[in-house]
Amino acid sequence: MNILITGGAGFLGARLARALLAAGKLSLRGAPARAIESITLADLGPAPADLAADPRVRSVRGDLLELVQRRDLPAAGTDLVFHLAAAVSAECEANFDLGMRSNLDTTRALLEACRALGSKPLFVYTSSLAVFGQQPGGKPMGRVGDDSLPTPQGSYGIQKFIGEQLVADFARKGFLVGRSVRPMTVSVRPGRPNGAASGFFSGMIREPLAGVQARVPVGPETVVAIASPTRTVEGFIRAAEASDADWGPLTAINLPSLTTTVGEMAAALERAGGPAARALLDWTPDPAVERLVRSWPGEITWDRARVLGLRADADFDAVVRQYIAENPEAVRLTVR
């Protein structure tokens, strides 16, 4: 089996690749498991050293749209594409053209290139909860389910929803097999902050545990739907494994979520790192970030993912403990 992961050098892309390589084989659409022969990681930057050292891994660097337009990707014989590469929320609000190029033009070009293969590869598309949004002056969204009407309130969400529809139509036409998933806000991400408006959901845990102050631009009452990196990658892989009958309609599914508040996240930080960690939180509002984040839903249902056997994190304390266990070198405070 030959797999392409766009955004493959990024945090989730690399984590997905490691999970696949560790398994060594994968069942596509409910068929008998097959050995994974190659994984191509496409990204602007280099693959992490551990992945680059694996003979099954091929790293392709460059602008994804240009690589696809030249038909460098996907290679003939590609069985499965995980399309993770994207410009993130705040970037898309700040730079409209960047968002349209990265999230719309590139997605369509990649779908067309998969169609041109003629082999109907399986295409797993990572959408976003940002396809849902609180309409100004409208009634509260309440709980949002798999089939709730998307009403995105930002360029990123609009681009992701268009991507969902393109994947569904390419699949309906029989050009490929399409599966769209909506991940929750992923926390805690290690490493450097990214340009996402939701980035502080990781930063408010990661930075204080490292002894660094972190800004929290929204109020403690803000409700958020969270998923750990482990649960998120499980959802990506299950989307590829599910049979057509188990998957169901071509519309996107919500991945499992843990509903919490920013205040509860701060409390979990204190339970892990003590008062010294919580004292490093700077509760200075950012109206632009707050407006965007508050437009996203916090109460999510994920019935289709549950039927597929997926599950949410038990609580946010468990998410924090997972981060500490996986990134001991990044923790400077004494943890409990």
Clarify whether 323 is annotated catalytic.
no
Sign of CA dihedral 6, 11, 16, 22: positive
Residues 301-322 have pLDDT tens digits of 999 999 999 999 999 999 999 9
What the block records as the tokens of 231 is: 């649960």
Alpha carbon of residue 235 to chain centroid: 10
The verdict on pTM exceeding 0.85 is: yes
pLDDT in tens, 14-25: 999 999 999 999
Please say whether the beta carbons of 10 and 223 come within 8 A. no
**Residue 161's pLDDT band (cuts 50, 70, 90):** very high
Helix (H, G, I), strand (E, B), or coil: what is residue 220? coil
Percent of the chain with pLDDT strictly greater than 90: 87
**Position 168 pLDDT exceeds 90:** yes
**CA-to-CA distance for 275 and 201, rounded, in angstroms?**
19
Domain boundaries, the chain: 2-184+227-254
Pairing state between β 177-182 and 122-126: parallel
Q: 198 exposed, middle or buried (CB, 10 Å; 0-12, 13-18, 19+)? A: buried
Counted residue by residue, the chain has a size of 336
pLDDT in tens, 27-71: 999 999 999 999 999 999 999 999 999 999 999 999 999 999 999
Which is the catalytic residue, given 11, 123, 125, 156? Answer: 156
Q: Does domain 2-184+227-254 have CATH number 2.40.128.50?
A: no
In angstroms, the CA 167 to CA 296 distance is: 23
